[in-house]
Structure 1
Amino acid sequence: MIKTIIIEDEPAIQKEIEWLVNQEEDLELVGTAGTVFSATELIRTQQPDLALMDIQLTDGTIFDVLQQLDDIPFQVIFITAYNHYAIKAIKLGALDYLLKPLDEKELQEALGKVRAKNFDPSTQQQQISVAESRLKNEMLSLEDPMVLHTLEYLQVLQLKEIIYLKSEGSYTNFILTGNRKIMVSKPLKYYQDLLPERWFLRPHQSYLVNTTLIDRYIKTGYIILKDKTQIPVSVRKKEAVVQQLTQGQ
């Protein structure tokens, strides 16, 4: 049995999650909490395998809870209302999350990952640190980290390591410094929405480029990066490219 706790400060939502958890034969609900203090005590006394955690609590955030623990040896699924910054934080950490009101199908998908038993506490700690840092600082810099979720591993990197992204259908290739390449199973649009427009430019439907690594823009329709890579610029993107590259000049 998977010992499960629920940390949620809205009684109606908490009851809904309880009902969903109780439908799962391999989940054992061992407690609920709605505040930072009660959540911390619940985790310490019950030592769960899985925690369904609302990010925003009445007296703080779930990160206030996690900071009080020596380690986090249990799997975390975050719960949040639609909040632009919270969701971006979670996505940068490549963590699992559910939106309120909970969708049973999405819960099943998240539980499927729990049941796969590929859990690595140290990696999850890195992911949580990335999300917490992002949530505290709404403005991203190129020094900030993000996590890429591949089929084989989780990669932690800084935004400044990204040279460009290339669409491969429903997948995206990250071309990184040091002659590294990482493919992830999310479309380019996902990362266009996630990465700050200040630093990342989409000159073509298949590319997203780190603007700090652009050497020049050739007006006939392509960008040359500092490593001599040529990136095409679509006709309808030419004006937007010029505007973004000349901002502040």
Structure 2
Amino acid sequence: MKTLIVDDERLARIELRRLLQEFPKIEIVGEAANADEALQLIEELEPELLFLDIQMPGRNGFELLSALKGSAPDVIFTTAFDEYAIKAFEYNALDYLLKPIDTERLKEAISRIEENFPAGDGQPKAEINRTEKILGQDDQVFVKDGDRCWFVKLSKVRLFESMGNYVRLYFDDQKPLVLKSLNSLEERLDQQAFFRANRKHIINLAWVDKIEPWFSGGLLVTLQGGDKIEISRRQTIRFKELTSL
């Protein structure tokens, strides 16, 4: 995988290059100290992967991605600041590594990249628009709630619950809150996999365990794990259309 390192700190580039020597599939084709240099190298070298710092003189990492024309390389953000994690999610970053970079976290990030590249042709499975991609079961998202962080695959999230201006995610035994409205989240999710059951809930259809008739022509859905969610009468019609042969 042709890889470009973008970081304004020379020592940070040297350290990352050293760490990446352990991964033979990563071919470092160049380095850039700012967004302008990176844009020129991306056009010339056509890298498949960026290790991208966020805070840099001039344009930051997000502005660099917004300035790219055509399909963008896959991106792993490398930064000393955790407050950009939610915005990184909006750019569909493969991962978000905090400096100093932990070797085990880097291994996880590289394995995630390898999942995105089939063996043999060295090309990504699909080119994506980084600002408009619809998120499905196989996508992973960064979730931060207070001091705790997760990088979770959406197939593990069984339920999204509106809590005012926040959304609570239910996965494993975790229930973190993210600053996002349920409506805006619904626009990003694959509607064949994630269903808006009512005003407050989106359910992962893969987690539906039991369906029962409910009051006023609605349905009561029980998810694996025991969560019970009412599907409104209005949404019941669409639910039956979506899940029937």
TM-score, scaled relative to structure 1:
0.54
Higher helix proportion, which one?
1
- The residue number in structure 2 matching 1:135 is none
Aligned residues: 166
Aligned counterparts of 1:187 and 1:91: Cα–Cα separation in 2: 20
Identical aligned residues as a percent: 24
RMSD: 3.8
Q: Secondary structure at the match of 1:6?
A: strand
Aligned counterparts of 1:100 and 1:57: Cα–Cα separation in 2: 14
Aligned counterparts of 2:11 and 2:170: Cα–Cα separation in 1: 35
TM-score, scaled relative to structure 2:
0.54
Pair 1:155–1:28, CA change in 2 (3 A): closer
Extract unaligned runs of 5+ from structure 2. 119-123, 142-154, 162-168, 184-195, 201-217, 222-245
Q: CA deviation at 1:11?
A: 1.9
Is 1:107 the counterpart of 2:94? The answer is no
Aligned counterparts of 1:185 and 1:44: Cα–Cα separation in 2: 41
Is 1:174 the counterpart of 2:176? The answer is no
Pair 1:186–1:110, CA change in 2 (3 A): farther
Aligned counterparts of 1:195 and 1:122: Cα–Cα separation in 2: 28
Q: CA deviation at 1:7?
A: 0.4
Extract unaligned runs of 5+ from structure 1. 131-145, 157-169, 177-183, 200-209, 215-226, 231-249
- The residue number in structure 1 matching 2:147 is none
Counterparts of 1:43-54 in structure 2, within 5 Å, are 43-54=42-53
Counterparts of 1:160-239 in structure 2, within 5 Å, are 171-174=156-159, 186-187=171-172, 189=174, 192-196=176-180, 213=199
Aligned counterparts of 1:213 and 1:45: Cα–Cα separation in 2: 49
- The residue number in structure 2 matching 1:87 is 85
Letter of the 2:179 counterpart? L
Pair 1:100–1:13, CA change in 2 (3 A): same
Aligned counterparts of 1:40 and 1:16: Cα–Cα separation in 2: 22
Q: CA deviation at 1:41?
A: 0.8
Aligned counterparts of 1:29 and 1:59: Cα–Cα separation in 2: 24
Aligned counterparts of 1:50 and 1:16: Cα–Cα separation in 2: 17
